[in-house]
Structure 1
Amino acid sequence: MGSEYAIEAEGLRRVYRTRTGWLRPRREMVEAVRGVDLTVRRGELFGLLGPNGAGKTTTIKMLNTLLIPTSGTARINGFDVVRDTREVRRRIGYVFGGDRGLYDRLSGLDNLRYFAELYGVPARDQKRRIAELLELVGLTGREREPVDGYSRGMRQRLHIARGLLHRPEVLFLDEPSIGVDPVAARELRQTVAGLAASGTTVLLTTHYMAEADELCDRIAVIADGRIQALGTPAELRHRADGRRVVEIEAYGVPDTAVAALRDLPGVRETALEERGALQLLTVQSDAHVDVQGDVLRELAGIRLGRVNSREPTLEDAYVAIVNAS
């Protein structure tokens, strides 16, 4: 097929029927995806970002044939995901975060041999293909060890190798770094960047802004079932232009205090992230308004740690986009 796009979606919607209530159950319709339009070029590394429940995974599952759209169309390399399901599946790989989908008692090598058979990789090609993939994901020398002895990062790299066995033209990576330590996450990012450089089209969903910023050619932010912003990381960063950011480490900030901060003059966005016992409070303000003094007065009586003022990042722009949805 001659399309320049590896992935095309037009007006993609997905409605779920759910039951709520126990004594008097009611049927409700939940619109998870509300009309997504998307094009991803061949060989592009494209990021799909959004909070939990925003419609990310539902969108991915419609694109990779695991869910049928309620309405709208989607094509992979020109093949319709509903009408040409078999053709689409031959051309895609799907890797999800977490530990499922591998056989712990088998070695990494035996896992790949098993899945190569399952995916119909010709017997004469299997040995060379598996060796190539072990090299690509950095598991050469560890492939004969049982998978239950692998770290989270090693398991995730084996997942990627498994998803690439049949040489897919499009690879879906659904939060591959979830639960992986920072060193392993860096190795994963190197692996993913290598895939895109070799011509594979990659659609990546992630919660980690630094990962998206480093890897992606373009990013779409989805919230409330719709695409809220789309562009290069640099273009999205412009959403936070003209702002300053104050970061405060704190312990025991109540929701009422966060709400009060939003009402301060010059404050545009607030976000509170839990990091174990520590909380990281981020306050975005107009660049010409110094809000730090007002913010600290509002937090009087709360135990605080480091206070830092800085330029906005892609993550700050993402918070602004999601809060505006």
Structure 2
Amino acid sequence: MTAIEVRELRRTYTSRTGWLRPRRVETEAVRGVSFDVGEGELFGLLGPNGAGKTTTIKMLNTLLLPTSGTARVLGHDVARDPVAVRRRIGYVFGGDRGLYERLSALDNLRYFAELYGVEPREQKARIAELLELVGLDGRERERVEGYSRGMRQRLHIARGLLHRPDVLFLDEPSIGVDPVAARDLRRTVADLKAAGTTVLLTTHYMAEADELCDRIAVIAGGAIRALGTPDELKSRIRERDVVELEAYGADEAALERLRRLPGVRGVAAEERGAAQAVTVQTDRGADVHGQVLASLDGIRVGRVVTREPTLEDAYIAIVEDADAPARPVAREVTA
């Protein structure tokens, strides 16, 4: 059975700019997105900032109305029957919002249990069950203000599960969480999927998506650019090698020189403290080490390694190869 069905979903925002001569500008945040999520599936929605991930999730959980297109959750239309959708879903988002810090975790869950309409006779057992699930049993009487970021995120998940939702939306749940807490969160999410909960996950951590997701959709510029299992997405760049090097002070001009080298298929750089992790995707078997180092002449280079492509490399290639820029499309509207 299909838990989530999305067909040509669009969302356009209208804003006004200017003072003396105000203009209306329409921004297409989501442009004709379509996908299905099976019942009991853990589905990943990946994309760069501003790609339309959170807007899509907010339409699916009835926080935003679609401009056009349709979306159904467990057979209920999100625009025509939002109350029925809300009864069947849970929503967990990253960050510190959504909890009362001066209350204990126990009191937070009691409060939200009332809001979610959990029967009073079921609340005690349900809260105890969830505290154990997310690993907060024994700490439930402590104020949330003393919790770490990881503990708060696990409490967010417990809150989202109080009413036993059939579908759970996790919007970047591990953002800002340390590696140990992130591992615990992944274990919790995997347990939810094993128990039969349908999960739609957004994340910027590719290793997390590779470990957890049954299938992944990559969204860029408000449109789906690729959809498949992690292995299917990685197979798109199977005929490539990856040269990863540590650089200090590589500017955009240096990266552009790398992109113009014969045999180079893509270049990405990530700041890591004082250094940069520069990833160069090349044709399989292309010997470009000498040319890469020559292009970075004058820039201090540390470790250089060649490795097999990962899901992160596939993701970068998909986003860079997208026909439209990986940002919302805006246009001026005449009155």
Q: Quick check: TM above 0.5?
A: yes
Structure 2 match to 1:105: 102
1:31-63: CA deviations, max 9, x gaps?
Answer: 111101110000000000000011101110111
Say if 2:191 is the partner of 1:187. no
Q: How far 1:265 sits from its partner (Å)?
A: 0.1
Q: 1:22: how far off?
A: 5.0
> Which of the residues 235, 238, 241 maps onto 1:238?
235
1:250 partner SS: strand
Specify which of 83, 90, 93 is matched with residue 93 of structure 1.
90
Q: CA-to-partner distance for each residue in 1:280-308, whole Å, 9 max, x for gaps?
A: 10000001211111111101111122111
**Superposition TM-score, scaled by structure 2 size:** 0.95
Identity %: 75
Specify which of 1, 8, 16 is matched with residue 13 of structure 2. 16
Could you say which residue in structure 1 is the equivalent of 2:333? none
Question: Secondary structure at the residue paired with 1:228?
Answer: strand
Aligned to 2:215: 218
Q: Does 1:176 align with 2:156?
A: no
Q: Secondary structure at the match of 2:292?
A: helix
Provide the secondary structure at the position in 2 that maps to 1:248.
strand
Equivalent position of 1:294 in the other structure: 291
Tell me which amino acid in the other structure corresponds to 2:312.
E
Q: Which runs of 5+ in 2 are unaligned?
A: 323-335
Among candidates 164, 169, 176, match of residue 167 of structure 1: 164
User: Which one has more relative contact order, counting CA pairs under 8 Å at least 6 apart?
Assistant: 2
For 2:249 and 2:115, locate their aligned partners in 1 and report how far apart those are by CA, in whole Å. Answer: 51
SS in 2 for 1:249: strand
Q: Distance in 1 between matches of 2:20 and 2:142?
A: 52
Structure-1 separation of matches of 2:308 and 2:20? 53
Counterpart position of 1:81: 78
> In the alignment, which of 57, 60, 63 is matched to residue 60 of structure 2?
63
Aligned partner of residue 227 in structure 1, secondary structure: strand
Using the TM superposition, give the Cα deviation of residue 25 of structure 1 relative to its aligned residue in structure 2, in angstroms: 3.4
The aligned residue for residue 41 of structure 1 is 38
Q: State the partner residue of 1:72.
A: 69
* 2:148 equivalent to 1:151: yes
The alignment yields a C-alpha RMSD, in angstroms, of 0.8
Structure 1 residues 254 and 131: alpha-carbon distance in aligned structure 2, compared to 1, 3 A threshold: same
**Partner SS for 2:282:** strand
Letter in 2 for 1:8: E
* Aligned counterpart, 1:303: 300
The answer for the alignment partner of 2:248 in structure 1 is 251
Identify which of 109, 126, 131 aligns with 1:129: 126
Corresponding residue SS for 1:153: helix
- Runs of 4+ residues deviating >6 angstroms: none
The alignment partner of 1:173 has SS state of strand
Deviations 1:152-188 (A, max 9, x none): 0000000000000000000000000100001100000
Q: Which runs of 5+ in 1 are unaligned?
A: none
SS of structure 2 residue aligned to 1:240: coil
TM-score normalized by the length of structure 1: 0.98
Structure 1 residue 23: Cα displacement: 5.1
Task: Decide which moves more: 311-320 or 300-309.
Answer: 300-309
Partner of 2:195: 198
- Quickly say closer, same or farther: Cα 1:19–1:154, change in 2 above 3 A: same
Q: Deviations along 1:206-246, whole A, 9 cap, x unmatched?
A: 00000000000000000011110000000000111110101
1:52 to 43, 49, 55: 49
SS at match of 2:131: helix
